[in-house]
Amino acid sequence: MLTRRHILISAAASLAAPLAPRRLWAGTSLETGGLRIDTLSDGNLVMPIGFSFGDLPADQIAALLERHKLPTDQLTPPCNVTLLRDGTNTVMFDVGSGPDFMPTAGKLAEALDALDVTPEDITHVVFTHAHPDHIWGLLDEFDEPVFPNAEYMIGAAEFDFWTDPATLETIGADRATFAVGAARRLEVIADTVRKLADGEEVLPGLTARLTPGHTPGHMSYDIVGPEGTITVIGDAIGNGHIAFDMPAWHSPSDQDPVLGAQTRVALLAQLADSGATMIGFHLPGGGIGRVERAGDAYTFVEI
């Protein structure tokens, strides 16, 4: 059986079609037209069952765990950082956890090494939101940006929320470290970061799209290529199980569970109807796939 490293070595021979993904040591890769998109593994999180399922009745939780072949004691969602290369720009969507969040995460440097990409090669860093697993990898041990040549971009509402001193007082004790960590990192880039509006063109062929609820200013991003749109959804659809089976469920992982559910329901319907490719930060198989309807629910189909 091939290991991921073996697959990386043999990947060049495995691309049979423009949108056929290649399995890498670090994640998944696909090419379309002049674009190459890689999802790079930053490792995984280790979360209690209640983080996704909250107070859902035990029999429903058991059925979900059985249906999706999930462990019964904890969840270990993958962390997929997206890298876009168009021949001119090298764009990274989120920067992973860095060394300070969880020991199972913070592996992005290894994934970049596997692709012979250096931190200095990154021209743009685009944040979906400022939770620890998405932004804590921004700074090195000297509190300097890890990607020194990059232009940084984040939703304006997201930046304002995490840099507002009142956030620490209102976000709740269980998320207080999130607020402190985000504010510290955003302060370093505050003078140069570009704050994005809903619908704003980030770069030619790349558009920001407000998908709030998981955080107040959460952004997704549409990459328009010659063969269609690929949407980087961050945590707007935060897992491959209950988010698809019960999209209207008020997830405790969302800062605003009601708004998060509204966003998720609308986004899943749009992705299913359009057939567009999506990339999810915590979805399986490198996070690249499509949404299909399954009655009143949906399924995530890896590609």
Residues in the chain, overall count: 303
User: Is there a domain that residue 58 lies in?
Assistant: no
pLDDT higher than threshold 50 for residue 39: yes
* 202-218 tens-digit pLDDT: 999 999 999 999 999 99
* 235-261 tens-digit pLDDT: 999 999 999 999 999 999 999 999 999
The predicted model scores a pTM of 0.90
The angle that helices 176-189 and 156-163 make with each other, rounded to 10 degrees, is 110
What distance, in Å, lies between the first and last C-alpha atoms of the chain? 20
Residue with tokens 């002049």, as numbered in its chain: 34
Percentage of the chain beyond pLDDT 70 is: 91
User: Is there a domain that residue 4 lies in?
Assistant: no
- Ranking 3-7, 100-104, 122-126, 224-228 by mean pLDDT, the lowest is 3-7
DSSP string across 150-211? PEEEEEHHHHHHHH-HHHHHHS-GGGHHHHHHHHHHHHHHTTTPEEEPTT-EEETTEEEEE-
CB 194 within 8 A of CB 94: no
User: Is there a domain that residue 294 lies in?
Assistant: yes
Helix, strand, coil shares of the chain as percentages rounded to 5? 35, 30, 40
DSSP string across 96-140? --GGGS-TTB--HHHHHHHTT--GGG--EEE-S--SHHHHGGGB-
Q: Which domain holds residue 265?
A: 28-52+66-302
Give the model's confidence band at 30: pLDDT under 50 very low, under 70 low, under 90 confident, else very high. Answer: confident
pLDDT higher than threshold 60 for residue 286: yes
User: Is there a domain that residue 101 lies in?
Assistant: yes
User: Is there a domain that residue 59 lies in?
Assistant: no
3-state secondary structure of 48: strand
pLDDT higher than threshold 50 for residue 5: no
User: Is there a domain that residue 21 lies in?
Assistant: no
- Ranking 12-26, 61-75, 97-111 by mean pLDDT, the lowest is 12-26
Query: 217 vs 211, 221, 233, CA distance in Å?
Result: 7, 13, 13
Q: Output phi, psi for 95, to 5 deg.
A: -130, 10
pLDDT at 26: 53
CA angle centred on 41, ends 37 and 42, rounded to 5° = 125
Cα separation, 21 vs 13, in Å, equals: 12
pLDDT higher than threshold 80 for residue 273: yes
pLDDT higher than threshold 70 for residue 52: yes
User: Is there a domain that residue 1 lies in?
Assistant: no
> What is the total count of domains within the chain?
1
Q: Give the full edge-to-edge strand order of the sheet including 297-302.
A: 201-203, 206-210, 219-225, 228-234, 277-280, 288-294, 297-302
Interval 185-199 mean pLDDT: 98
CATH number of the domain that residue 222 is part of: 3.60.15.10
DSSP string across 49-71? THHHHTT--HHHHHHHHHHTT--
User: Is there a domain that residue 18 lies in?
Assistant: no
- The C-alpha R_g of the chain, in whole angstroms, comes to 18
Percentage of the chain beyond pLDDT 90 is: 84
Give the model's confidence band at 8: pLDDT under 50 very low, under 70 low, under 90 confident, else very high. Answer: very low
For residue 294, the cross-strand partners are: 297
pLDDT at 22: 55
pLDDT higher than threshold 50 for residue 14: no
